[in-house]
């Protein structure tokens, strides 16, 4: 069992690094990074040149009552786009990490695009 867990976590790290390598090498713009846990969903805009997080948003800041997880993720995407506009950011690169572009991750990206964030 322990060996199986170690192999899974190793594969997750490999997928995440493979995605990041393509994103960081091809752009000089900040990246919009997605992280999902079992309970929550987080987005943050990171400037890799400075090594700083510019702004963050999570489902803890959004009204969740009566909504499905995909709808909540879309709201989080809209929220991060509003915060990015406040710091005068219009263009980012989307970093899906080790996750597929599907479900909550895709909904968050679409929500950010609806609010005017370009990637």
State pLDDT tens for residues 19-78: 888 887 667 899 999 999 999 999 999 998 889 999 999 999 999 999 999 999 999 999
| Strand positions, DSSP E, the chain | 31-36, 41-47, 52-58, 93-95
Q: What is the pTM of this model?
A: 0.86
CATH fold for the domain made of 2-114: Nucleotidyltransferase; domain 5 (3.30.420)
State pLDDT tens for residues 7-22: 888 998 988 888 888 8
Contact 53, 44 (CB under 8 A): yes
Tokens describing residue 52: 């700083």
Q: Work out the number of other CB atoms within 10 angstroms of the CB of residue 96.
A: 20
For position 20, what pLDDT does the model report? Answer: 82
Strands 52-58 and 31-36 turn out to be: unpaired
């Amino acid at each position: 069992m322990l060996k199986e867990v170690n192999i899974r976590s190793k594969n997750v790290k490999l997928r995440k690094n493979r995605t990041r390598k393509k994103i960081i090498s091809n752009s000089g713009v900040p990246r919009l990074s997605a992280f999902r846990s079992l309970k929550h969903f987080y987005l943050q805009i990171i400037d890799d040149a400075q090594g700083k997080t510019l702004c963050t948003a999570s489902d803890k800041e959004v009204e969740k009552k009566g909504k499905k997880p995909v709808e909540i993720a879309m709201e989080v995407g809209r929220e991060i786009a509003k915060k990015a506009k406040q710091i005068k950011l219009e263009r980012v690169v989307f970093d899906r990490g080790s996750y597929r572009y599907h479900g909550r991750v895709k909904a968050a990206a679409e929500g950010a695009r609806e609010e005017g964030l370009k990637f």
